[in-house]
Amino acid sequence: MDSMTIIAVASIVTAGLAITIGCLTPALGMGWAISTTLRSLAQQPDAAGTITRTLFIGLAMVESLAIYCFVISMILIFANPFWNHVLLQAGGK
Sequence spans of domains, the chain: 3-87
Phi then psi for residue 79, to 5 deg, are: -135, 50
Give the pLDDT confidence of 38-65 residue by residue, as tens digits.
999 999 999 999 999 999 999 999 999 9
Cα(81)–Cα(40) distance, rounded to whole angstroms?
47
Give the pLDDT confidence of 19-38 residue by residue, as tens digits.
999 999 999 999 999 999 99
Q: Which amino acid is at 81?
A: P
Cα(19)–Cα(7) distance, rounded to whole angstroms?
18
Phi then psi for residue 52, to 5 deg, are: -65, -40
CATH topology of domain 3-87: F1FO ATP Synthase (1.20.20)
pLDDT at 35: 95
Q: Which residues contact 55 (CB under 8 A, 6 or more apart)?
A: 33, 34, 37
Model confidence at 92: pLDDT above 80: no
CA angle at residue 31 from 50 to 41, to 5 degrees? Answer: 30
